[in-house]
């Protein structure tokens, strides 16, 4: 039986990798992402960088049977906000320096450094999808889904907020990519840019309006303009399709499922 260890970037421990029977694979999941930053190093850089290097060192020392480590990285490790390329792919690297990362708006992007290890990384942009059913508070919704939560709760009924990042992916596809990155031998040593397509916040509002007409009064005006740039950057997700076999969900399916889950927890 294949045994997999699931760890979190923020709190890796030596004890976590010690196991009998030993682990075959390790999934090392995402570091924190929010804009409430008081200490860039403590809140973002250390958890992401030391968290990852710490677990890799522990695996090397105490878990020699591990065949592959799959790390949840981010589009933040790819994006260049100063000069977007025409098309983003796994070939792009975030150029933010350590000094620039002291600016909280850049810190999360800088925490995703280019790895020096033979591992597989999953690089998703905005991740949408159903929230967990045991959510303690709607204020605890993850950063990506908060834009849908805010629409559903009427927090943006006076107008759409700027979209920011114009690429998205469904959480189910991200989860499957982690599993496939373990199962597919060719995935070793590769980065995978997980992206379903382009979107703007206007698209989210329109999908919610059509699927849940009872929420109309909570949504921004129907005639709100989209902020999708005419020359928005493109994306190349070919590797994730050809190597991992990902068949991406549609934006409508993802948004409808997300809203359904939010309503079930009291939105």
Question: Pick from 133, 104, 95: which is nearest to 33 by CA?
Answer: 104
* Calpha distance 262→258 (Å, rounded): 6
The rounded distance, in Å, linking the Cα atoms of 44 and 37 is: 8
Which residue in 10, 57, 67, 112 is the catalytic one?
A: 112
Q: Is 218 a catalytic residue?
A: no
Could you tell me if 26 and 59 are in contact, meaning their C-beta atoms sit under 8 angstroms apart? yes
Max Cα distance, the chain (Å): 60
Kind of pairing between the strands at 87-88 and 68-72: unpaired
Q: How far apart are CA 94 and CA 115, in angstroms?
A: 12
Report, as residue numbers or ranges, the catalytic residues: 112
């Amino acid at each position: 039986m294949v045994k997999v260890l699931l760890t979190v970037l923020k709190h890796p421990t030596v004890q976590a990798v010690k196991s009998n029977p030993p682990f075959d694979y390790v999934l090392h999941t995402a570091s924190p992402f929010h804009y409430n930053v008081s200490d860039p190093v403590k809140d973002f850089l250390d958890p992401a960088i030391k968290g990852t290097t710490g677990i890799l060192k522990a695996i090397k020392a105490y878990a020699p049977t591990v065949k592959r480590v799959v790390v949840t990285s981010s589009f933040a490790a790819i994006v260049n906000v100063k000069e977007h390329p025409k098309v983003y792919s796994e070939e792009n690297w975030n150029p933010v320096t350590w000094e620039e990362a002291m600016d909280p708006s850049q810190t999360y992007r800088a925490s995703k450094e280019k790895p020096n290890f033979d591992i597989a990384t999953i690089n998703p942009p905005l991740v949408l999808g159903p929230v967990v059913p045991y959510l303690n508070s709607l204020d605890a919704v993850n950063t990506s889904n908060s834009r849908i939560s805010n629409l559903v709760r009427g927090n943006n009924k006076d107008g759409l907020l700027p979209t920011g990042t114009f690429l998205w992916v469904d959480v189910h596809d991200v989860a499957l990519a982690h599993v496939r990155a373990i199962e597919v031998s060719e995935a070793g040593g590769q980065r995978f840019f997980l992206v379903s397509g382009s979107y703007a916040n206007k698209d989210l509002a329109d999908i919610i309006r059509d699927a849940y007409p009872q929420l109309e009064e909570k949504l921004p005006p129907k005639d709100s303009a989209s902020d999708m740039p005419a020359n928005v950057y493109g994306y190349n997700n070919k590797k994730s399709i050809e190597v991992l076999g990902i068949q991406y969900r549609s934006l409508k399916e993802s948004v409808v499922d997300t809203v359904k889950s939010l309503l079930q927890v009291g939105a």
